Each structure stands twice: as C-alpha cells, then as structure tokens.
C-alpha cells in the first residue's frame, strides 16, 4: 500500500527544483533540498499550487515535481517514518536525516574545488572538516553518488522547440 505526501512549492523554491538535471550532483541536491522542505512544511491536504512536490511512499518510493510545463521524478532512497501527529522523518541506514546532515551534503558538493579535484585526499579532508560524524557523511554521500536515481522528465518546451532536435513535447531520462 502506498502513501502520498503533497507539498506546495513557493516561487523561491522553484529554482532549486526545476534547474536542468545533467549530473548526479544535481539529483543529490534536489533530494537534500526536498528533505529540507518536507521537514519544515506540513503536507497539503489539497491542490492549491501549480508547482508541487509529491512524495509517493511504497516499496520503491519516488519524488515527483510538477510545474505548469514540466514534470519530473526521481527515486527516493530514504526510509520514511510518520509519527502519530503526522510529522515525517527520514532515515538512511538507521540514521535520521536531519537538516544539519542535508546541509553538510549540500556543502560538500558546493566546494567544487575539492569535489572536482583529482586527488581524493582533498575531498576526504573536506569531509573531515565539515562534519562531526564524518564516517556517516562519507557513507551516505558514497551511496547517494552511486545509487540509481531513476530520473525521468516530461517537458512541454515552447521556448526551445525545434522539430528535429528538440520536440515541443518530449521525455528526458
């Protein structure tokens, strides 16, 4: 049996979730920012916004993002727990994913010099400096960078439409 949580997105959140996804790092940032939103907002009881994030929890949970002309979905690799008051929390390998952990992961990817370095020790040093729990952050990051994100997007793209190269209606995976 699946469960659905719907979150309206504000105009300033749209930029975080609807930038082009061309790298795994973008998917990870989307997941971390999505958890931040879900930890601070109550799920909507009804459709009030044209831009939404929907978490469908089942055997293989997925996040869906909807705007007027673009829809996309990614695999959601976290365990979701909902308490008796309806608050939701997220876990990975029995460790709760908090706002602090999401910020640490986002920060790791934002340091492009260390992240893109050819020397692994630059990145290891960054993890050691950024976290009280460097072993967990490293394990989480390693799993996120290697998981199958199952990204799929549907576009209705008038602005870039070109019959042969970029159809008006198309899917990207």
Give yes or no for a contact between 97 and 34, defined as CB atoms under 8 angstroms apart: no
Burial class from Cβ neighbours inside 10 Å (0-12, 13-18, 19+) for residue 138 reads: middle
d(CA 161, CA 6): 31
pTM, 2 dp: 0.85
Which pLDDT score, from 0 to 100, does residue 168 have? 72
Distance, in Å, from the CA atom of 136 to the CA atom of 80, rounded to the nearest integer, reads 18
3 state DSSP class of 155: strand
Q: Structure tokens of 112? A: 């492009």
Strands 152-156 and 95-97: unpaired
Tokens, residue 50: 């044209």
Q: What is the pLDDT of residue 1?
A: 74
Cα angle at 52 between 51 and 56, to 5 degrees? Answer: 155
Per-residue pLDDT of the chain (173 residues; tens, 9 = 90+): 789 999 999 888 888 898 888 889 999 999 999 999 999 987 765 556 789 999 999 988 999 999 887 899 999 999 999 999 888 999 999 999 999 999 999 988 887 787 777 887 877 777 777 666 667 888 898 899 899 988 887 776 777 777 777 677 666 66
């Amino acid at each position: 049996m699946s469960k659905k949580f719907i979150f309206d997105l504000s105009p300033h959140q749209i930029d975080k979730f609807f930038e082009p996804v061309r790298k795994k790092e973008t998917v990870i940032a989307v997941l971390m920012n999505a958890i931040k939103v879900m930890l601070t907002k109550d799920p909507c009881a009804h459709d009030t916004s044209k831009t939404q994030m929907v978490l469908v929890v089942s055997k293989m949970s997925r996040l869906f993002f909807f705007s007027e002309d673009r829809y996309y979905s990614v695999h959601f690799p976290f365990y979701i727990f909902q308490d008796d008051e309806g608050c939701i929390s997220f876990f990975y390998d029995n460790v709760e994913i908090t706002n602090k952990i999401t910020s640490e992961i986002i920060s790791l990817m934002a340091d492009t010099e260390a992240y893109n370095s050819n020397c692994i020790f630059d990145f290891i040093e960054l993890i050691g400096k950024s976290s009280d729990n460097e072993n967990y952050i490293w394990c989480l990051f390693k799993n996120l960078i290697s998981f199958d994100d199952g990204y799929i997007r549907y576009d209705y793209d008038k602005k870039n439409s070109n019959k042969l190269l970029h159809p008006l209606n198309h899917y990207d995976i």
